[in-house]
Amino acid sequence: MELQTPTEESTVRSVSAHLTEQLPALAPARIESTVRRLVGEWRARSRIKLFIGIIAERHARIELRELTASGVAS
């Protein structure tokens, strides 16, 4: 049995939806653009694609919380 690697778009949608629930003070467009950038970066440099969603979500959460704390997020 072979595992299917999620597409970049499905990963972005899934992670963005999850972070939008966790960080309701941020604009969904801001969350999606951050997630899309991070997913793209991780897909470009990773040989194994299965865990990119998890890794990108962690990095996006940290980055977005820092933006929120500094008052830059909108």
Span 18-47, pLDDT tens digits: 999 999 989 999 999 999 999 999 999 999
Which H or E run contains 5? none
Two tokens, residue 74: 């909108």
pLDDT score at 1 = 65
User: Which domain covers residue 42, as residue numbers?
Assistant: 10-17+24-70
Look over the chain and give the mean of its residue pLDDT values, rounded to a whole number: 91
CA distances from 57 to 1, 2, 11, 16 (A): 27, 24, 10, 8
Helix axes 8-22, 28-45, angle to 10 degrees: 140
Q: Would you say residue 3 has pLDDT above 90?
A: no
Give the span between the Cα atoms of 51 and 67, in whole angstroms.
25
Within a domain: 1 = no
Provide the whole-model pTM.
0.87
**DSSP SS3 for 39:** helix
Report the domain count for the chain.
1
Within a domain: 2 = no
